[in-house]
Structures are given as C-alpha cells and as structure tokens.
Amino acid sequence: MSATKSLSGWGRYPVLDCRTAEPPSTAEAARPHPERLGVARGNGRSYGDSSLAAAGTVLTKHLDRLLAFDPATGQLTCEAGTLLADVVATFVPRGWFPPVTPGTKWVSVGGMIAADVHGKNHHGTGSFCEHVVWLDLALGDGNVLRCSRTEHAELFAATCGGMGLTGIILAAAFTMIPVATARIAQTIERAANLDAALALFEAGRHWTYSVAWVDCLANGADLGRSVVFFGEHATQEQLPAAERATPLRQPVRGARRVPFDFPAMALNRFSVRAFNTLYYQRQRPGSALVDIDPYFYPLDALLDWNRIYGKPGFVQYQCVLPFATSREGLRALLAAAAADGSASFLAVLKLMGRPSFGLMSFPMEGYTLTLDFPVTPPTMRLLERFDAIVREGGGRIYLAKDARMGAEMLAGYPGLAEFRAVRQRYGLDQRFRSAQSDRLGL
Amino acid sequence: MSVHAAGPVLVLGARSDIARAIARRYAKAGRTVVLGARNAASLDADRADLELRYGVAASAVEFDVIGDEPDRFFAGLPEVPGTVVMVAGGNGVQSISDAEDAAAELVMQTNYLGPARVLLAAARVMQARGGCIIGVSSVAGERGRKANYVYGSAKAGFTAFLSGLRARLNGKVRVITVKPGYVATRATADMRLPPPLTAQPEEVARAVFDAEAKGRDVIYVRPVWWLIMLVIRAIPERVFKRLSI
C-alpha cells in the first residue's frame, strides 16, 4: 500500500511530494523494498528536509506499541513510532520520566534516536542516545540487526544521530529516570546581557535543567538580554501539603490550535519586539513549582504553532559553538540578528556538556543557540552570514533543524568520514537517502 | 453512569487500525481485552502494549471471520465475552470483483456471511448473561454505488442482520450498528478523502465506546454522514444510476 503525499518538516519548508508507505508492524517495516529508496519518518518534527524522500518515505506512525518495562531498572522497550507524549502520559503517573526530552513531546522515539536529541539537562546528562540500551535496525535488505554499544557498535554509533540514513529503526530500549512528583521546582533569573547569561549558566551547572530565553532583538549594551530557567524534579516534601498524597498526578490541560496560516506580515520586528519585551518583563525572578508540560513543552500548548510563520514556512537555525569561541561567536550571531531585525519568535540559549558517541550527533561542549526565521530571501542570506560565524568558530549546525545549509558546513562533524564508511560497508548508502542527504551529499 | 457490559471485550478482526484503536479505548477504561485475528501470535506486540499501557489483562486468540465453526470458536474462549466488537471485513476492489468470481465471493463472505454467522454464535453464548454486540458496518450499505456495490451490498445485508438481531435479543444482549463513514487508515492512505468527512481511527473508537455507554442502537461516527446518506437515499434511481459517485 503506498500513496503520494505532500510532506514537509515542522518548519513547513521545503515541501516535497513523497511516495509513502505505512507498515502496520515491525515485521512489515523490515521487508525489503528495492523500489523504495528513502528514509523513515516518525512524527515529522524535524524542521527541514531530514524526513523527506521522494521515492520512499516510510511512516512509522503505526509502530507505536509499548513492549516491555522493567521497574527494577527503568528500562522501557517500545516500537520506534511511539510518541514521547505517550511515554510521558503512561509513565509519569508511575513515577518515571524520560532521561532526556526535547522541547516538544510530539516526537517519536525513533526520531529522538535519529536526531540524538538533547534537552535542558544536556550539560549533566548528555543526549538521548546515551540512555539507549539497544535498538533494532532494519537494513532495508530484509535483515534486522540489534545494535548497542557492544553489538554492531559501529552501526549503533552511526544510527544514533544518523538522521535515518542507516536504516529503519524498528524498536528500542532506553532507561527512564525515577521521579517523585510530576512537578518541577523552577528558579528564574534574569540576565541583563550575554556575559551575565553565560555567568548564570556556569554558576548553575549543578542544576539538572537549565535553559535561557534570549531577546534577540536587544542590542548594544543589552545584547543577549535573557531569562534563564533552572529546574529540578520536585521532591514530595516540596509539594504543598494538599498535593503530597497524589504527587504524580498531572493536570489535564487543553491545548489551543492555530486555526489558519498567519499572513506573512503578522510577525515583524515590531510585534516580535513587543512580545519579547513583554515576555522578558513577565518572567519574574524567583522560585516556583511548575507542571511538567509548561516547563518542558511550553510551545506544545499551541498546536500547529508553525502556522504563525504563514505559508512560506520558517527555518530554525540551531548551532553549537565550543567554549573557546562561544562568547565571541554568540555575540556576533546575536548582533547580526539584532541588526537585521528579522523576526525570531524564539531564541534559546543552552549550555551543552560532553559530546555523544554518535558519529553525526550534534552536541559538543559549549553553547548552543537556536533562532527561528521566516523563509524570505533576506533571512536566507543572513543565515549564510551565520554559517560563516559558526564555521570560523569551529561549531556545527544541528541536522534535525537544517533545511538549507551547504555541504561545507559538514566540516563541523568530525565523525563524517566514519559515518560514510559505515553506510558503505553495510550497503546502506544504496538504500537510504533523504532530501537532506541529497542536498548535503551525505 | 456507565452501562458498559461486564466481562472481557472481544475485538474481532483485531489487526486493522480501527480495531487497534477500539481495543485501546476499552483497555483505557480498564476492560480485559481479547484480540481475535488470523495468525494470533503476531498480535503479541499489541497484547503487550495494552497490558503495559493500561494495566489490563490482554490476550490474543486465533480467529478467522470466514472460519467454518463459529460456535466452536466461542466455546474455546476461556471466558464468555461481555462485549463483542466485529471489525472484520474489507472493501476489496470493485473492478476485481466485477471480473473474478472468487474475489467477489470473498468480499461477500468477509463482510456479510462470516460476520453474521459469528455474531449469531456470539448471541448464543451471550444470551444467558447479557452483554453487548457491536457490528462495524458501513454507509456503503445504504445504497449500491457502482464504485463499491459488492462490498456495499454485503454491508447492507450486515446492517439488516444487526437490526434484526437487535430486535430479537430485545435488550438482553444489546446490539449496536456503527457506520463510520470515511476513516483515515492504512487501507485508505492512497485516497484523497475530504477532511471534514474523514474520522481518525481513535474517533471511531471513542464513538463505539460511547455508543455502548449511552445504549445507542445505530450511530454514524461523524453526524454529518447521517445527512449525507439521507440525501443519497433520496436521489431517484433514474438519476442515481447516472451519477459517478
């Protein structure tokens, strides 16, 4: 059963007509289909063209079964199309939480592995794949290999962060962390500028979670003005007395939906400046207990928020710079963004810790900055200037966000040669490709 | 107040997207689930998912909707079900049914003969204790269209069967007819279905579950289908036969 669908990533740019298949089971997904040369797509939450393949996009949405859980170790086994939202909804009430979570829970476990996602705890906990015990990988020729740090380790390292280019992830086991409550003890601090923000991150290394919201239109002495959010899983004692009996209960929240594409003019430097100023003012420094959803997934409260950028879509630019160059590099990036005034609805700064073992994994020790831009010719030119800053600083761009960079930016990935070698060794370069891998010559 | 039947819910034709969603909806409510399909061993992942996700007991049994001995199938179950949901069936391809007798026969068997025999057998074992029988029929059964009349006629028979069974069992075992309309499933992945008329499998599941709770007789999953079918039934045959619907 196959169909042709017009698909895009979360940024809605680019859009590509793709032949799709939706296997009902892992057994079906593992069958060889020589006519399909493509890539698996989980919930389509990578931003650019990573999950698009014209000849064959394999939708894993039916591979959504939870298979086993061991409360002694916290190890959860599930099929790759399982949504993180389902994991959170099922296991928080039992006192378990994903070891690493990205900024949305509408991602599949397979997608989390393929992008080797990181979260607000990266500086201490590392990326998601560091908590993956094993995964079952369909090689596209009918064979399925169980890969781990000890079995087919090179394939495991290529698959973790490999953007789906090493096969179809069928199922995986990963280790969850125990939590005593469904709430986060949050502390908010304001940073008047970039130096202050970096100092707060350094001083706050002991926090499990940390992230900063940057007002990227602030310029001059205010450059890098931000709100830094620190967090810990709350203990039972931290809860108000009335809630201590049901510490794992999560409130039921409605989500709003963006009902139509905003006109392209809706986001401009004035509306975004007003929003950012308001947001900065509204986040009062201090400590409070907050729920998991607003803390980890603030944008999930607005379903289809990608529509606010209108029909042309948007690109999310996420780069990481090593410590040696991050202060200067971030300053240059933020100054370029502020001077340009292109609306970035979201600018997020985060301290990163040790790099992952994944050959194409994004994280490295340093700082990562994320900005959104509407797709227009001037912003695309601005991003080329960004690329130069990142390249010069020895940084890299996150493949899960990328929709437009040139192949020269792959120089930021030292595991690239080994990644290509593993793909060739298993014949995977003949069976798996995406619009992104074509663009980058991966 | 829930009027849901006691005892396990038996989902027949358990491999389809709609059946999987129905099984999850009942399991979420704490009901024990029994999945019936051919090659039951391959339902192990679904069984594990229901148990782990919802903390209920779940099992899988070998079931063929066009099997020879429906009474023996029910006799072999460890427990008499409280609810039976018949999801088995399938569109087939009309042009193949036009051309090949065996293909047409299979569509007729899987959508009428098989489901009706199985539910007669279900009624025989459930009558003593009561319960609920739910048949997933189709709007296609309301008027024969050239695009799918073999399937539609079988569903028409199944709808009539459910209506008669409901009257005969007279509330002792409740009988619900479900007409989903378009549903976005693997089987319809290659069709361009109008979103306002197309339900997600989870929506069908919710409607089925709620229909049992509310004691409904016949439901359309999206109410707009009631209106559409009213219009379609009202078109004079002389006009209808020329329409390309």
Q: Which pLDDT value is given to residue B82? A: 97
Q: Are A1 and B186 within 8 A, CB to CB?
A: yes
For B143-187, what is each residue's pLDDT tens digit? 999 999 999 999 999 999 999 999 999 989 999 999 999 999 988
pLDDT in tens, A41-92: 999 999 999 999 999 999 999 999 999 999 999 999 999 999 999 999 999 9
Instruction: Report the gap between the CA of B123 and the closest CA in chain A (Å).
Output: 32
Residue B15 touches partner A, C-beta closer than 8 Å = yes
Q: Is B151 a catalytic residue?
A: yes
Give which of B93, B186, B192, B200 to mutate to test A binding, by max A Cβ within 10 Å.
B186
Percent of chain B residues past pLDDT 70, beyond the cut: 99
How much is the pLDDT for A218? 85
Report the Cα–Cα distance between both ends of chain B, in Å, rounded: 42
Q: Chain A: nearest CA to B205, how far in angstroms?
A: 16
State the complex-level ipTM: 0.91
* Residue B17 Cα, gap to closest chain A Cα (Å): 8
Q: Which of A18-32, A127-141, B151-165, B187-201 has the lowest mean pLDDT?
A: B187-201
What is the greatest pairwise CA distance in chain A?
61
Cβ(B130)–Cβ(B175) below 8 Å: no
Continuous H helices in A238-376: 269-282, 292-296, 323-340
> So what's the pLDDT on residue A261?
74
Residues 29-68 (B) with a CB less than 8 A from some CB of A: 42, 45-46, 48-49, 52-53
Q: Smallest Cα–Cα separation from A327: which of A416, A199, A188, A415?
A: A199
* Chain A residues closer than 8 Å to B187 by CB: 1
Partner residues linked to A368 by β-bridges:
A320, A350
**Torsion A155-A156-A157-A163 (CA) sign:** positive
Q: Is the peptide bond before A14 cis (omega within 30 degrees of 0)?
A: yes
Residue corresponding to tokens 């989870």: B202
Order of strands, sheet of B218-220, starting from the edge strand that comes earlier in the sequence = B58-62, B33-37, B9-12, B83-86, B131-136, B173-179, B218-220
| Helix A194-203 with A323-340: angle, nearest 10 deg | 140
Nearest to B48 among A4, A26, A65 (CB): A65
Q: Note the pLDDT of residue A345.
A: 60
Looking at residue A250, its pLDDT comes to 82
Compare CB distances from A65 to B46, B186, B190 and report the shortest one's residue. Answer: B46
Distance CA A369, CA A350 (A): 7
If we measure between CA atoms, which residue out of B65, B233, B235 comes closest to residue B136?
Answer: B65
Task: Output the pLDDT for position B18.
Answer: 97
- pLDDT of A233 reads 98
> In 3-state terms, what secondary structure has residue A178?
strand
Scored b (16 or more CB within 10 A) or e, B157-191 reads bbbebbbebbeebeeebbbbbbbbbbbbbbebbee
DSSP 3-state assignment of A111?
Answer: helix
Confidence of residue B1 (pLDDT cuts 50, 70, 90): very low
Is the pLDDT at A317 greater than 70, yes or no? yes
What is the reported pLDDT for A264? 58
Task: Dump pLDDT digits (tens) for A260-309.
Answer: 777 655 666 666 667 667 766 777 889 999 999 989 998 887 777 788 77
Place of tokens 């029910």: B74
What pLDDT does residue A266 have? 62
Of B35, B78, B16, B27, nearest to B51 by C-alpha is B27
Number of residues that this document lists for chain B: 245
Asked if the Cβ–Cβ distance from A66 to B17 is below 8 Å, we say: no
The pLDDT of residue A340 is: 84
- A75 CB within 8 Å of a chain B CB: no
**Which one of B26, B151, B182, B220 is the catalytic residue?**
B151
pLDDT, mean of residues A5-24? 95
Interchain contact, B48 vs A79, CB within 8 Å: no
Which one of B49, B52, B189 has the shortest CB-CB distance to A22?
A: B189
CA distance A21 to A61: 10
How much is the pLDDT for A267? 63
The per-residue pLDDT of chain A, averaged, comes to: 93
For residue B167, the surrounding DSSP H or E stretch is helix B149-169
Contact with chain B for residue A89, Cβ under 8 A: no
Cβ-Cβ contacts under 8 Å, A20 against chain B: 189
Which residues of chain A have a CB within 8 Å of the CB of B15? 24
- Sign of the C-alpha dihedral, residues B193, B198, B202, B205? negative
- How far apart CA B148 and CA B161 sit, in angstroms, is 20
Residue-wise pLDDT for B104-129, tens only, equals 999 999 999 999 999 999 999 999 99
CA distance B71 to chain A (A): 30
